[in-house]
Structure 1
Amino acid sequence: MNILWDFDGTLFDTYPGYTKILSHVLGDSVDKQEIYEKLKISYSHALEYYNISPAQEEEINHLRKQLLPKDSKPFEHVEEILKFANKNVIMTHKHRKGVLAILEYYGWSKYFVEIVTIDDGFPRKPNAAAYIHLHSKHKIDLAIGDRELDLLPAKELGIATCIFQGQSKVADYHLRDYSEFFTIDFTSEKVKS
């Protein structure tokens, strides 16, 4: 099975760090759970929702650069799936330097045959261009993401979709925890490898 992964909130639990940063910039009057939920929609959605000023965005970017790879923990059991897959690829809006720093910290670079980041110039999700690129090279069987935004391009290409820790009508499969992965019957027409 060849799997296309989202990064933030799918492979690594990066949202708590981002929530802490946004909370720091916005102040204690804004509920942290609400910030987390807005970030789960998308980073740009959260910035727009809170009407972040250019000065605040500069502060956020400064604080994000101070996050260390150890601040982004991998989700439990995800490494078992990475080992199981024939091929793993990543498509993320995160910058390559940050992705590689985290992967190398955990020794996970070896699991990925290709990583597409915002630095590669593809349009942002839900545009399917990066997925088309990865699918044409690696024949993707399954796309895993934590947001519907991650699944829409795969769905457009007829690739099976799996949402992690969320709900979506676009998803063919739902996982609350990666320990459930091996209990799912992927032998359907959607996932053949």
Structure 2
Amino acid sequence: MNILWDFDGTLFDTYPAYTRTLSQVLGEGADNQEIYDKLKVSYSHAIEFYNISPEQVEENERLKKELSPLDMRPFDGVEEVLKFAGRNVIMTHKDRDGVLAILDHYGWTHYFADIVTIDDGFPRKPHPAAYQHLHTKNKIDLAIGDRDLDLLPAKELGIAACMFQGESDIADYHLDDFNDFFDEVIPLLKK
């Protein structure tokens, strides 16, 4: 089985760290749960919702660059799924250096046969171009993401889609914990 992974919020629990940086930029009175919820829709959604200035965006980006890989822990059980897969690939809007720093820190770079980042010039999700590129090269069987934005390109290409820690009408599978992957997703994929 070949799996296409989203990065933030799927492989790694990055949203708590991103919530902290955006909260710092917004200042006192910012509601962390609301920030988290807006970021889960998308970063651009949060920027628009809070009417963040270009200077604030720049400050947030600076703060995010100061984050350590220790601020972005992998989700429990995800490494067992990575080991199980025949081939793993990533499609993310994160920059390549940021992705590799985190993967290298956890010793996970070898799990991935291909990585497409924002640096590769593909249109942003939900445009399917990056997914099509990865699918053509790697014959993807399943895409896993934490937002509809991550699943829409897969569905457009006829690839099975799994929603991680969320609800989705377009997902073929839903998973709250990677420790349940082998009991909940694999049997359904075999049908």
In structure 2, the partner of 1:103 is 103
Task: Give 5+ residue unaligned stretches, structure 1.
Answer: none
Name which of structure 1's ranges 57-66 and 103-112 shifts more when overlaid on structure 2.
Answer: 57-66
Distance in 1 (CA, whole Å) between partners of 2:58 and 2:110 is 34
Distance in 1 (CA, whole Å) between partners of 2:146 and 2:163 is 5
- 1:144-155 to 2 correspondence within 5 Å? 144-155=144-155
- 1:13-162 to 2 correspondence within 5 Å? 13-162=13-162
Q: Is the 8 A contact 2:2 2:86 kept in 1?
A: yes
Distance in 2 (CA, whole Å) between partners of 1:177 and 1:187 is 16
Instruction: Give a deviation string over 1:54-100, Cα, whole Å, max 9, x none.
Output: 11111111111101111100000000000000000000000000000
- Counterpart residue identity of residue 104, structure 2: E
- Counterpart residue identity of residue 111, structure 2: Y
Distance in 2 (CA, whole Å) between partners of 1:187 and 1:2 is 16
- CA-based RMSD: 1.0
Q: Is the 8 A contact 2:173 2:185 kept in 1?
A: no
Cα 1:103–1:43 shift into 2, 3 Å: same
Task: Give 5+ residue unaligned stretches, structure 2.
Answer: none
Secondary structure, counterpart of 1:29 in structure 2: coil
Q: Is the 8 A contact 2:122 2:129 kept in 1?
A: yes
Distance in 1 (CA, whole Å) between partners of 2:130 and 2:35 is 28
In structure 1, the partner of 2:170 is 170
Distance in 2 (CA, whole Å) between partners of 1:119 and 1:23 is 26
Distance in 2 (CA, whole Å) between partners of 1:65 and 1:182 is 35
Secondary structure, counterpart of 1:113 in structure 2: strand
Distance in 2 (CA, whole Å) between partners of 1:14 and 1:52 is 20
- The number of residues matched between the two structures is 190
Secondary structure, counterpart of 1:168 in structure 2: coil
Distance in 2 (CA, whole Å) between partners of 1:26 and 1:160 is 38
Q: Is the 8 A contact 2:175 2:184 kept in 1?
A: no
Secondary structure, counterpart of 2:186 in structure 1: coil
